Amino acid sequence: MSGAPHGGSALAAVEAALSALGDDPCHAFLEVDHDGARRRATALDAGPALPLRGHVLAVKDNLAVAGLRCTAGSRLLADYVPGHTATAVERLVAQGAVILGKTNLDEFGMGSSTEASAFGPTLNPRALDRIPGGSSGGSAAAVAAGVCRLALGSDTGGSIRQPAAYCGVVGLKPTWGAVSRFGLVAYASSLDTVGPMAPTVAEAMAAFRAMRGPDPRDATARERPLGSGPSAPASIKGLRVGVAEGWAAAAGLHPGVREAVARAADRLASAGADVRAVALPEPDAALAAYYVLAPAEASSNLARYDGVRYGARVPAPDLLGMYERTRSAGFGPEVRRRVLLGTFTLSAGYKDAYYGRAQGVRAAVRAAFLQCLAGVDVVLAPTVPGPAPRLGELTDPVQLYLLDVFTIGPSLAGLPALHVPTGAADGLPVGVQLLGAPFAEETLALAGEILERGGP
Amino acid sequence: MIDEATLRHVARLARIDLAGLDLEQLRGELGRVLDLLAALDRADRLDVGSEEATMALRPDVVIPSAPLSELLAAAPAVSEDGAFLVPKVLP
Amino acid sequence: MTASSWEVVIGLEVHCQLLTATKLFCGCSTRFGAAPNSQTCPVCLGHPGVLPVLNAEAVRLAVRLARAVGGTLPPESVFSRKNYFYPDLPKGYQITQYERPFCEGGEVEVSLRGVRLVVPLTRIHLEEDAGKSTHGGHGLTEVDLNRAGTPLVEIVSEPALRSSDEAAAYLEELRNLVRTLGVSDGHLEEGSFRCDANVSLRRPGAPLGTRVELKNLNSFTFVKKAIDYEVARQREVLEEGGAVIQETRLWDERVTRPMRGKEDAHDYRYFPEPDLLPLRLRSEWLADALPELPGTRRRRYVDALGLSQYDAEVLTADSATSAFFEAMLAAGAGPKASANWLANELMGRLNTEGRSVSASPVAPQDLAALVVRTQDGRLSSKLAKEAFSRLWAGESAAAAIAAVGEVVSDSAALEAAIADVLGASPDEVAQFHAGKTKVVGFFVGRIMKALQGKADPQLTQALLLAALEARRPT
Ligand SMILES: [Zn+2]
């Protein structure tokens, strides 16, 4: 990273962030920890220099920070205060980052616009009549509005990359298992990842490097396996870049996005990359598999919200009534829909046709991506079909689901994916998605830094 | 399309109260998602392979429990001796 | 058709708590009897954002049991989620093993009244326990989650048992096995060894009948009573032309009754637990040494020590008994005599008083000393029984043996006593010489009386016959 912001003064960074935030006109934050941030910054400035000192951190409100409410955007958890802190957050704090507050999101990460938050929508700082995307809309907006240079999001089917695209910031969805999920309120565990959002690739990568690696509290978090291919190439020269031409030619794709992909391919080629066309699996199969598997896991992950040990309870004379009323009142319509859908696709008589089949499709999608990535180091693809839609424009759930058509496949395959903003279309940010083999984040960063520098 | 009986059965399994919801609208929304899922029938499938990573295990060492008062403070109803209280299965 | 033409089919599912210090997926203590919820954390309370991390020791113990029953251990096993709502199930799902358990097959050899019986197992899998719900009088249920997340193995037998006696014998054997292995403490009262029974009836050779699952079997006595009750109930239903309903019934003191409140059709929606990767078998778990198992020991007692199957069964019924027996052998007592004294005299007396071998007032070394003296002829069985009573009363072996005195096996002393008795009974001596040999008993009685019963019986007999021959008129 080129010099810490605010000359490495944590307190100066916090004051600047608070003044940039003002009264949070975009409603990026659900809670701002003014006092805690100032206290922590003062203590940090008195101590030894740390790599991330001077960085203010916005944390998506589905990541636990001990002592701060963690609502996951749900009424059910409106007053839930965890005693534990997410490993990803803990590792950034250990390197000197100061937590500014908790950002808005679609309830439990289920949504693509942050309109499905129980606490009201977030606005896109680039255009206030637009959605910021979701589910990490609050974190994307916090970075785009210049409040902070680092935010944490979570990405299950596009929830970091898609809002990064709509808000014009960098967003990294790491390899599944590269960053600990401890402290992340689970949506769909086999797809959930925690990743950074930042104005630059370098800042996002600094955060990723601080967070990644095994964690004794997450049995699925791990190192890049030994012998899993070469580590990051030292230079863009000769880097094999595949352009997902089928995706970039998809019907309904906004011309600005198509152009962004083409321009990015040119930039990488002129920087010395070896650019060629590749074929990625058709997105509709991945989309279908995702909308079976994610809701199925969600129906189980959200079973713990039963009004017994924490959270809001709606009383009833009998146990069943208490359960049903608590959960119906606590969950918003989108969460309710996905819980019902996931329960249905796992239930006796339907499980083989839906859950079983979707598992098989996921395995085929994963194999197809890996096969494609065996021939190239990076795949260049669109992140979203077009610039940010207007608030309230998309009312049918399925229309919203289709915003994630290009981000879901890499999620199913467990791959790292980096969104890099490259310009604007219709006055709104556009960019591209870089995909790599598992644990190839450094390679993605190499190509991403070329793209954000502009040119050719 | 999910018929109403199936929807009610699923809602019971999921402990979601359907009272006050527009069931026709809900069935319509779920139906459109199920239409999306029809792509599964046409798609290629593979046997689910094995994960190559090896899971790390935990040593059998007691970690002192979190302060009980903090954990219980989050609960909607707790008895004097520290048990969570819920309504009976049958009132 | 007669009632006896029904075949009883029983399969048992045993939940056995593993002897670990901490829970299966978190670092909370598994100690029994703590204040409600005092042994919980965000993980076992199912808080948002926390994850399970598997306890290596639980797997090591489970693998130990699997090896002891000769089960097949696949290189990889998989955890699944079993989804259902209940207040004592904090996450709304139980992490268990479903399609790919860590152990398949295996068998447990049981000895029932001297007959060997091999019970095949279907599988053993690892899973977490639920908490405890107590239904109070105030319309509320109290939930204590100290037990939630405790490591269990579920041992599932094939439906191969044919009577409540076989079922009880299998359970006793299994409990003995887990205790011998150090895998579980096997306490039924504390719930660390629990049993559900699947019971059905059929005509011999017919396909399996509809089965009923019996729960709440908290002691071996209840297991027998509940199965006997259930067999009688099903037989009555079937013989009246009715059909047995597949259901879960609870043992409630004298009867089984349908379990209420869980009418909700169970659809557990199993799927692989995405928070855990597949569990890979480690070679170190296969290397660790197993102690001699009850079945092996039983075979050794029969084959090498020459004991009867029945005696071997009694002596291996629990580890305290076999340890007592082994200690007697180590003290120099012979196996058959030791088995006899332990199984009949000592255990008979302990049973009468409702005590177990581990609470015996007689030490194995003392009982062995007594057995050694009966074997070398220094104690007659009559004297030995007297000495045993003294041991039971708390005397040491030395004191007890000294008090009853040793057998008179000194030839001179015996010959003197014989001469006295023969001299005082000339008529009986004449009768003997006339061919009436049964008077020998009369002489022995007199000699024993003269020596307060301590005469060595065999030597006395021999010397007496010699003395009578010497007196035969020529
Ligand atoms: Zn715990």
Taking the C-alpha atoms of residue A399 and residue B33, their distance in angstroms, rounded to an integer, is 10
pLDDT of residue C450: 85
Number of domains chain B is built from: 1
Same domain, yes or no, for C143 and C243? yes
Mean pLDDT to the nearest integer, C292-310: 94
- State yes or no: pLDDT of A1 exceeds 50: no
pLDDT of residue C264: 54
Same domain, yes or no, for C38 and C144? yes
- From the list A10, A414, A438, the residue with the least C-alpha distance to A190 is A414
User: Does residue B27 lie within any of the structural domains?
Assistant: yes
Stretch among B51-60, C240-249, C309-318 having the lowest mean pLDDT: B51-60
- State yes or no: pLDDT of A3 exceeds 70: no
Q: C-alpha angle with apex C446: C445 to C452, nearest 5 degrees?
A: 85
**Hey, which residues 84-143 in chain A have their CB within 8 Å of chain B?**
none
pLDDT in tens, C376-429: 877 877 888 888 999 999 898 888 888 877 777 778 888 899 999 999 999 999
**Strand partners for C95:** C81
Mean pLDDT to the nearest integer, C360-389: 88
pLDDT of residue B91: 67
Residues 6+ apart with CB under 8 A from A119: A30, A71, A73, A104
User: Does residue B26 lie within any of the structural domains?
Assistant: yes
Number of domains chain C is built from: 3
Same domain, yes or no, for C379 and C462? no
pTM of the model: 0.92
| Contact assignment for B65 to C28 by CB distance below 8 Å | yes
- State yes or no: pLDDT of C173 exceeds 90: yes
pLDDT in tens, C205-214: 899 999 999 9
Domain finish residue from C404, C430, C456: C404
- Percentage of residues in chain C having pLDDT higher than 90: 75
Q: Is B51 on the interface with C (CB under 8 A)?
A: yes
pLDDT in tens, A218-256: 999 998 876 665 567 789 999 999 999 999 888 889 999
Tell me the shortest Cα–Cα distance from B54 to chain C, in angstroms: 7
Same domain, yes or no, for C396 and C323? yes
| Contact assignment for B82 to C56 by CB distance below 8 Å | no
Same domain, yes or no, for C324 and C450? no
pLDDT in tens, A322-344: 999 999 999 999 999 999 999 99
Same domain, yes or no, for C258 and C118? yes
pLDDT in tens, A104-147: 999 999 999 999 999 999 999 999 999 999 999 999 999 999 99
pLDDT of residue C262: 52
The mean of the pLDDT values for chain C is 92
For B87, C261, C377, C399, the CA distances from B90, given in Å and listed in that order, are 8, 7, 73, 67
Same domain, yes or no, for C396 and C418? no
User: Does residue B59 lie within any of the structural domains?
Assistant: no
Same domain, yes or no, for C279 and C423? no
Provide the 3-class DSSP secondary structure of residue B1: coil
pLDDT band at C5 (very low <50, low <70, confident <90, very high): confident
User: Does residue B19 lie within any of the structural domains?
Assistant: yes
| Contact assignment for A83 to B47 by CB distance below 8 Å | no
User: Does residue B74 lie within any of the structural domains?
Assistant: no
Domain finish residue from C287, C312, C339: C287
CATH (domain of C433): 1.10.10.410
Taking the C-alpha atoms of residue C170 and residue A229, their distance in angstroms, rounded to an integer, is 54
pLDDT of residue C403: 80
Mean pLDDT to the nearest integer, A166-188: 98
DSSP for C361-411, written as a single string: SS-HHHHHHHHHHHHTTSS-HHHHHHHHHHHHTT--HHHHHHHH---B--H
| Contact assignment for A297 to C271 by CB distance below 8 Å | yes
Domain finish residue from C242, C264, C287: C287
pLDDT of residue A297: 98
- Of the candidates C45, C51, C90, the beta carbon closest to that of A181 is on C51
- From the list C245, C248, C243, the residue with the least C-alpha distance to C266 is C248
Same domain, yes or no, for C116 and C260? yes
Q: Is A232 on the interface with B (CB under 8 A)?
A: no
Show which residues of A are catalytic: 60, 135, 159
- State yes or no: pLDDT of A197 exceeds 80: yes
- Of the candidates B50, B55, B86, the beta carbon closest to that of C143 is on B86
Taking the C-alpha atoms of residue C202 and residue C243, their distance in angstroms, rounded to an integer, is 12
Tell me the shortest Cα–Cα distance from A253 to chain B, in angstroms: 19
User: Does residue B73 lie within any of the structural domains?
Assistant: no
Domain hosting C245: range is: 3-287
pLDDT of residue C373: 87
pLDDT band at C266 (very low <50, low <70, confident <90, very high): confident
pLDDT of residue C138: 79
Same domain, yes or no, for C196 and C89? yes
Same domain, yes or no, for C143 and C44? yes
User: Does residue B62 lie within any of the structural domains?
Assistant: no
Whether the complex's predicted ipTM is more than 0.90 is answered with yes
CA Rg, chain B, in Å? 23
pLDDT of residue C374: 87
Same domain, yes or no, for C314 and C424? no
Domain hosting B30: range is: 4-42
pLDDT of residue A226: 67
- State yes or no: pLDDT of A4 exceeds 90: no
